[in-house]
Amino acid sequence: MKIGIISRGHALYSTRRIAEAGRRRNHVVRILDPHRMVIGVEDDGVVSYHDGLRLQGFDVIIPRIGVSTTEYGLAILRQFELNNSAVVNSSTSIRNSRDKFHAIQLMAAAGVGVPKTLYTQNGMAVRGMAERLGGTPVVLKFNQGTQGTGVIICDSEPALQSTAQALWSLDQNFTLQEFIKESEGEDIRMIVIGGEVVGSMRRTAAAGDFRSNLHRGGTSELFEPPQEYIDMALKAVATLGLDIAGVDILESDRGPLILEVNSSPGLNGIETTTRKDLAEKLIIFAEGLVS
Ligand SMILES: Nc1ncnc2c1ncn2[C@@H]1O[C@H](COP(=O)(O)OP(=O)(O)O)[C@@H](O)[C@H]1O
Ligand SMILES: [Mg+2]
């Protein structure tokens, strides 16, 4: 088959691994860099160009759309959907998960456990919000952050109020979340492909940080998830409609809670930790969409 990977670079670990796995399994693989593309609608329909050349005949598209190009990346993905390419993560499912509060809304409505989360643009309301969340510290999150960069811990009411004010003055929206103390600096990352958990790890934050993202210097170890975690991750991913996802779980005193679901999870940490070829699993899943 002919596979297109929408990605900013063939040098990125996950992109490179997926491309290699595809070629190893005798597929034609092309990396489609959004910055080198033009898409549109012309006389003969919905068209896409890469370096000026028309793109056609892709059986499967694997989107690896970064947070910085979500809107444009999704527009590109929709072009392929309209031309009947199979996609590993639909544009709708990526949109569901990319907006963190939207994802929390959908998961909560489906009965998936999530941390208490509040969202407002009302500056006056902030005063009572920490209390609703069980008091400070509370976690403040950009709706579209990633790799831990849009996650702030506020230890006191004045810190919360001044941070909220500063962010609003920059037109930056955010949600407030209860801080799950008992799991401070630790979370579980599970990778789901095609309705199956294919790898799990426990991540531990670098000393002095509460964020366990590997991009923030966190470390990881193999984790054998209990059935409850597996069921929960699968339900969350199905609710958002994703084919491949990275699910972040916090272990709270009242059970596991889903923090977020990533539609383009990094493969580096999880492949190293689990010693599994997850890129190949992804390609095998993609083959199943076409045959
Ligand atoms: N409510 C919370 N309580 C405790 N720790 C949290 C909470 N929210 C986030 N964290 C920590 O911060 C990290 C990043 O948060 P996350 O919501 O996954 O954002 P990102 O998309 O930037 O990874 C998590 O992996 C976790 O270690
Ligand atoms: Mg995360």
Average pLDDT over every residue of 269-290: 98
Q: So what's the pLDDT on residue 291?
A: 78
Structural domain that includes position 188: 96-113+183-263
Query: Do 241 and 105 belong together in one domain?
Result: yes
- Read off the tokens for 126: 């902030």
Assign 143 a pLDDT band (cuts: 50, 70, 90).
Answer: confident
Whole-number Å distance between alpha carbons of 191 and 278: 9
Residue closest by Cα to atom 1 of ligand 1? 179
Residue closest by Cα to atom 13 of ligand 1? 211
pTM of the model: 0.95
Query: Do 37 and 159 belong together in one domain?
Result: no
Structural domain total, the chain: 3
CATH number at residue 36: 3.40.50.20
Return the ligand 1 atom nearest residue 212 CA. Answer: 27
The predicted-structure confidence for 59-115, as pLDDT tens digits, reads as follows 999 999 988 889 999 999 999 999 999 999 999 999 999 999 999 999 999 999 999
Contacts of residue 196, Cβ cutoff 8 Å, sequence gap at least 6 = 234
Strand partners, 119: 175
The predicted-structure confidence for 219-274, as pLDDT tens digits, reads as follows 999 999 999 999 999 999 999 999 999 999 999 999 999 999 999 999 999 999 99
280 belongs to a structural domain: no
Ligand nearest to the CA of 151: 1
Separation of CA 27 from chain center: 26
270 belongs to a structural domain: no
Instruction: Calculate the average pLDDT of the chain.
Output: 95
Residue closest by Cα to atom 25 of ligand 1? 212
- Read off the tokens for 188: 């579980």
Given a cut of 90, whether residue 290 has pLDDT beyond it is: yes
Name the residue of 67, 151, 184, 187 whose CB sits within 8 Å of the most ligand 1 atoms, as the mutation to test its pocket: 151
Which residue is associated with the tokens 């400070």?
136
